[in-house]
Amino acid sequence: MKLKGAATLKCESCDEEMTIDASTFDDFENVNVGPERGMGVEVTHTATFYSSCDKCNTEISGDFIYIEYPPGSFNYEGLESVTNAEVKSTILTAL
């Protein structure tokens, strides 16, 4: 699985806006395989990014989450757990 696109973040320390693109993220990992449900298991894939603000050097990180349920079918994707920044916009998607 690959990530495509970019997101705009605003540093919470200095209000500087920055863009992170898909190349900033680590490779996807299967971080959670849920228990068996009616249509199989729920599988969560996560790709993490680590960056710093260009203006004040505050460390910024977050996770792109992709969930399959039932297995092989798209259920949810989104940028979550972002620390030290506000997500202004995102056009990230998993392929």
- What pLDDT, on the 0 to 100 scale, is given for residue 61? 97
pLDDT digits (tens, 9 = 90+) for 28-86: 988 878 778 888 888 999 999 999 999 999 999 999 999 999 888 999 999 999 999 99
| Cβ-proximal residues to 54 (8 Å cutoff; 6+ apart), any chain | 16, 18
- What pLDDT, on the 0 to 100 scale, is given for residue 80? 94
Q: Say whether pLDDT at 3 is over 90.
A: yes
pTM of the full predicted structure?
0.86
- What pLDDT, on the 0 to 100 scale, is given for residue 24? 94
| 8 Å CB contact between 44 and 28 | no
